[in-house]
A and B are shown apart, each in its own frame.
Chain A
Amino acid sequence: MSNETHTPSSDFAKEIALIPGGEVINKCIQCGICTASCVVACVDDQYRPRRLIQKILIGKRDEVLKSDQPWLCMTCRMCEERCQEGVSPAEIFHAVRVLAVKEGHIPKVFQITVEKVLCDGWMLADAYTDFNEDEREDLGLNPTLAWNDTFSKKVKKKYLAEEESA
């Protein structure tokens, strides 16, 4: 794969390229195979990874950083797997989130989920019902999941105390 870039790069694209994971953004040729491969785009017609990359390339900094879209990526990396130019939208959106966090743009629902994970020790505590327990028993699996919530509470206290008060 050659190192040449194909697209003009905005200041915002250059900024993203400096964050680990965002380096190769300027190799994007806007073919759209990322959107075509995306499991999120399949169920949400507002979520279009190619279009989001395009907005970064043309320098729509504010719009991208304040958008919920970079937070919708599930990091399945199918886009990365299929991209012929070696670009990883998953990594690029991670770089965007790093920058968005620095400037205080975290979608409320995302923040609530982080709180939930750190409080319960894992994400699906509320979703785990006796139906799931029965299913696990039928499969010969242990229905008691025994998650630890003390450690994540400590992590919250140590690393996320400021964000909570903010």
Chain B
Amino acid sequence: MKEIMLYRGCTTPVRLPAYEAATIAVLGKLGVKVVEMDDANCCGAQYVESVNRMAFAAMSGRCHSQDPGRRAARVRARLPPGRV
């Protein structure tokens, strides 16, 4: 069975939990197991993004690196600035 890690974001778990449940249910029917992304942080979209691009990149970058299937991204993130 395939596994994916789900980043829920801020709004979905609080305002639209039915979307989250539906996503998990549909993926389940398609043979994809959903693992919750715990210890996640705000992706920084819109608010942090508008005020500081580097802070935004760091925050969304951390969200991406939480997925164990994306180790490559984590390795790239360790490279010095300019190489990424």
Flag if B58 contacts A97 (CB, 8 Å).
Answer: no
**Pairwise interchain contact A124-B14, C-beta atoms closer than 8 A:** yes
Residue from B10, B36, B41 in contact with A151 in the complex, judged by beta carbons closer than 8 Å = B41
Give Cα A128–Cα B17 distance, bound, in whole angstroms. Answer: 12
Chain B 13-45 interface mask (CB, 8 Å, partner A; 1/0): 111011011001000000000001011111011
The residue in chain A whose Cβ has the minimal distance to the Cβ of B50 is: A97
Also in contact, A117 and B51, with CB within 8 A (given A124-B10, A128-B14, A141-B21): no
What's the Cα separation between A44 and B52 when bound, in Å? 27
A136 touches B48 (CB 8 A): no
Minimum C-beta distance from A3 to chain B (A): 28
Question: Given the known A-B contacts A101-B51, A152-B59, A159-B58, are A127 and B14 also in contact in the complex, defined by CB atoms under 8 Å?
Answer: yes
Number of A-B contacts (CB under 8 A): 95
Residues of B near A132 (CB, < 8 A) are 13-14, 17
**Total interface residues in chain B, CB < 8 Å:** 31
> How far does the alpha carbon of A159 sit from the alpha carbon of B44 in the complex, in Å?
13
Instruction: From B39, B47, B50, name the one whose CB has the most chain A CB atoms within 10 angstroms.
Output: B50
Whether B50 and A110, one on each chain, are in contact in the complex, defined by CB atoms closer than 8 angstroms, is yes
Q: A75-B46, A114-B51 are in contact. Are A155 and B17 (CB under 8 A)?
A: no
* List of 6 A-B pairs having minimum Cβ-Cβ separation, nearest first: A159-B55, A139-B21, A123-B10, A97-B50, A122-B42, A146-B38
Enumerate chain B interface residues (CB-CB to A < 8 A).
Answer: 8, 10-11, 13-15, 17-18, 20-21, 24, 36, 38-42, 44-52, 54-55, 58-59, 62
Given A117-B47, A147-B41, A158-B58, output 5 extra A-B contacts at Cβ < 8 Å.
A110-B51, A123-B10, A124-B11, A124-B14, A155-B55
